[in-house]
Amino acid sequence: MQLFRTPAELSGWTETARQQGRRVGLVPTMGFLHPGHLSLMKACRERADRTVVSIFVNPTQFGPGEDLARYPRDLEGDLDKCRQAGVDGVFAPEAGAMYPEGHRTFVEVTGLQDRLCGARRPGHFRGVATVVTQLLSLGRPHLAVFGEKDWQQLQIIRRLATDLHLGVEIAGMPIVREADGLAMSSRNAYLSAPERARALGLSRGLAAARARWTSGERRAEALRDAARAELRAAEVREDYVELVDPASLEPLDRADRPDARLLVAGFVGSTRLIDNTAVGC
């Protein structure tokens, strides 16, 4: 496994792979890797000849007062996990390599970025779209693999890849959960044991809404209320509970389609967590 610390090193390696006729796959991460990330690497390796993982805590997607400084980091542990996962390369740049002095260019996906997490974290998705565009431009992968846990992010990335004619397949992979249903997240490391138990309110809320849909309920308000009841019972402070079109993210009044997406965000203590599901999954 090779480690790249500069954009030029990454570009050179992937360009050589392309010239050799290899299908290149990219798994963008912010590190502190867990089994959810490893599932993305496995999926990428199954679909590509060469897999590169990026590990970069992107400063432009954190707003004032957010957790950039304390975001969990473990580069050496991450590199060991990547080796064990059989990836071919890791791109782990410093912030100055991605945003050198004089950097002025940002990417925005209007509309999709303005609701849900985007409305509550101004500038967040501008930072995400910018760094993903940089990674796709540098690595020129044939395939990039993302998790479905951040559903809004996945739709934004799909849109920018299409709109900018980047020629990359964007693959979304299912959420990986703990045995009790909690969606895996690097931010779970912030939770105390009691908070960890309360965090199950998010996945239980989604399960309650799915059960209502299976029993025949289609009204968005009723499905949202089912999820909210579980959040309240677990003392999770709601940020939002929304039923949306899976691609456009526009709010729905009814869940007549099984792929209608229910998205939740909430605070457990000071930790903000997100989760989502298709109502008919």
Name the residue type at position 59. P
Whether pLDDT at 171 is above 90: yes
What confidence tens digit (pLDDT) does each residue in 57-98 have?
999 999 999 999 999 999 999 999 999 999 999 999 999 999
- The pLDDT of residue 28: 98
Whether pLDDT at 227 is above 90: yes
Taking residues 229-246, what's their average pLDDT?
A: 98
Taking residues 8-14, what's their average pLDDT?
A: 98
d(CA 61, CA 83): 28
| C-alpha closest to that of 239 among 109, 69, 119 | 119
Interacting residues of 256 by C-beta distance below 8 A, sequence separation 6+: 218
Tokens 């480690």 -> residue: 3
Domains of the chain, with CATH numbers? 2-173 (3.40.50.620), 186-276 (3.30.1300.10)
Catalytic residue selected from 34, 37, 142, 165 = 37
Tokens 């000071």 -> residue: 270
Phi-psi region of 64 (alpha: psi -120 to 50; beta: other; left: phi over 0): beta
Helix (H) or strand (E) holding 75: helix 75-85
In this structure, the dihedral spanned by the alpha carbons of residues 150, 155, 157 and 159, taken in order and rounded to 10 degrees, is -170
Taking residues 229-252, what's their average pLDDT?
A: 98
Question: 261 near 210, Cβ under 8 Å?
Answer: no
Half-sphere exposure of 146 (CA within 13 A, CB side): 20
Q: Is 37 a catalytic residue?
A: yes
d(CA 109, CA 112): 6
Name the residue type at position 204. R
At residue 144's C-alpha, the angle toward residues 21 and 278, to 5°, is 140
- With a pLDDT cut of 70, the percent of the chain lying above it is 100
Tokens 């970069």 -> residue: 56
Name the residue type at position 57. V
3-state secondary structure of 268: strand
Question: 264 near 202, Cβ under 8 Å?
Answer: yes
3-state secondary structure of 266: strand
Name the residue type at position 95. A
Name the residue type at position 80. D
- The pLDDT of residue 211: 98
| C-alpha closest to that of 139 among 52, 203, 57, 70 | 52
Taking residues 219-228, what's their average pLDDT?
A: 98
How much is the mean pLDDT over the chain? 98
- The pLDDT of residue 281: 83
What confidence tens digit (pLDDT) does each residue in 106-161 have?
999 999 999 999 999 999 999 999 999 999 999 999 999 999 999 999 999 999 99
